Chain A
Amino acid sequence: MFRRNFEDELNDLHVRFSEMGMMVNEAIYKSVNAFINHDKTLAKEVIEADARINQREVDLEKRSFEMIALQQPVTGDLRMIVTVMKASSDLERMGDHAVSIAKSTIRVKGNVRVPEIEQTLAEMATKVKQMVEEVLDAYVKADMKRAREIALEDKNIDAFSGKVYKMCLKQMQSDPDTIVGSMDYMLVDSYLERIGDYVTNICEWIVYLETGKLVELNANAKEDNIF
């Protein structure tokens, strides 16, 4: 085995984590597109691709454990490895939510659809996707200031979430035929909302990476209002 030096290994870890971020971002994007367009083929693609995301998380963990055991990293090096370990779990959970959205897509069977709600969900998904992209960029640039700003954007996601929730309730009251479909809308809404929360978690890890401080961003945000 040709063993590269520690700097190379760290850099490799960093790159592989960023790649995982892109894989997750793609999964979220595709799952929402599949849901909006009732594209079951695309939804299946998301579900199948999740194995790769899970595998990547395990791979990053394994590498991190090895680096901790063999290289005894300290200070910034240690923080970087810890950040990758923790944030990769968040990414993996985000991937799972994308799979849940994809599964909702496959479950839908000729329900009566509500275009306004789907439109709002699409807008919400676009916003979530943008936040995921931004947080990955902030990680790569180790931009703590940006990370704090991104965490604040989660409020917008929560606002969308509340809006979808109310729209669904109203829809179900007015037209019982849309109850099953609206339940699915509410589920997708909650998955997207959770993805936003994981983005906030990653923002917290970027702050840790830079400062060594464990912070709670959005600690005062209103409780989730789903169900």
Chain B
Amino acid sequence: MAENKNVITVQDLHLYYGQLEALRGVSIDFRKNEITAVIGPSGCGKSSLLKTINRLNDLIPNVTVTGTVKLNDQDIYAPSMDAVELRKQVGMLFQQPNPFPFSIYDNVIYGLRISGEKNKQVLDEAVERSLQAAAIWDEVKDRLHENAMGLSGGQQQRICIARALATRPKVLLMDEPTSALDPISSSEIERTMLELKNDYSIVIVTRNMQQASRMSDRTAFFLQGELIEYGQTRDIFLQPQQKETEDYISGRFG
């Protein structure tokens, strides 16, 4: 049997905030070891989709989800699925870097500590491995016990990446991870992402079209809660099949 290339499989996903249908029957697969960009105008459902994959919508009242979302063939909405366990496997990064007001070290091991890991050697190893992978080890290795809030925005964001990596996730979800950062910090994050995809699968929601085009392997275009077009980034940006995609990418609306 051929190896399953998909890490996440979404089928006929509907999401309602009360009466409002934010996702209208979305089916999409995310590939392993690829960067998938999700683009679309405000309110198109792209962030809702991301939150659904991590079950962050569990916390919002009046949210109804139908359809299936599978992580490596495991239904993440099945009663047997533990949300904490899921979030260890599916890390998330937000627009605003959100390190905890702790030391860099304690930020990175947070996920491991709440899952009960106490062995100092394991924790030390995880800190170095994660900070290395997030390409910030050299910058902070001599001040691991300083408060992470004292770092620059770009550094904070990479601490957040390291924090997500510490639990060895399968997938990293990124919701506009560079939109609050200056161009140099943004390009550092982008470079980090390109290295990370050797070991992880990344789904990135972005309003920055250039970022989607230069970074991603595949691009999904959403409009009003529907997946309009999904394919290889080079096809989407050179010759999209749908007029709406072309109009949005060319900046005719949005």
Contacts and interface: CB of A to CB of B under 8 A. Distances in A.
Interface of A: 1, 3, 5-6, 65-66, 69-72
A69 B238 contact: yes
15 contacts: A1-B34, A1-B217, A1-B232, A3-B217, A5-B191, A6-B214, A66-B234, A66-B238, A69-B213, A69-B234, A69-B237, A69-B238, A71-B214, A72-B210, A72-B213
Interface string B140-178: 000000000000000000000000000000000000000
B233 to A, nearest CB: 7
Interface residues of B, number: 12
A147 B214 CA distance: 33
A3 B126 CA distance: 28
B194 interface: yes
Contacts, number: 25
Contacts of A1: 34, 217, 232
B200 to A, nearest CB: 14
Given A71-B213, A72-B214, A3 B237 contact: no
Given A1-B217, A3-B217, A6-B214, A70 B237 contact: yes
Nearest to B33: A2
Nearest to A66: B234
Given A3-B194, A3-B217, A69-B213, 5 more contacts: A1-B217, A65-B238, A66-B234, A71-B214, A72-B214
A9 B210 CA distance: 17
A71 B212 CA distance: 10
Interface in B16-70: 34
Contacts of A71: 213-214
A199 B101 CA distance: 64
Interface string B195-214: 00000000000000010011
Interface of B: 34, 191, 194, 210, 213-214, 217, 232-234, 237-238
A78 to B, nearest CB: 14
Contacts of A69: 213, 234, 237-238
Contacts of B191: 5
Please report whether the interface of chain A is mostly helix, strand, loop or mixed according to DSSP.
helix
A1 B36 CA distance: 12
A3 B4 CA distance: 21
A1 B5 CA distance: 12
Contacts of B237: 69-70
Contact of B194 (A5, A65, A72): A5
A73 B213 CA distance: 12
Contacts of B214: 6, 70-72
Nearest to B213: A70
A3 B214 CA distance: 10
Contacts of B217: 1, 3
B167 to A, nearest CB: 25
A120 B144 CA distance: 77
A132 B151 CA distance: 55
B69 to A, nearest CB: 25
Q: Find the residue from A6, A69, A72 having the highest chain B CB count within 10 A.
A: A69
A112 B217 CA distance: 63
Nearest to B215: A3
Contact of B234 (A5, A6, A70, A72): A70
Nearest to A68: B238
A5 B191 CA distance: 8
Contacts of B233: 70
A6 B190 CA distance: 12
B90 to A, nearest CB: 23
A65 B238 CA distance: 8
A71 to B, nearest CB: 5
B160 to A, nearest CB: 23
B216 to A, nearest CB: 9
A190 B182 CA distance: 57
A118 B194 CA distance: 58
A66 B217 CA distance: 13
A70 B214 CA distance: 5
Nearest to B198: A2
B213 to A, nearest CB: 4
Nearest to B234: A66
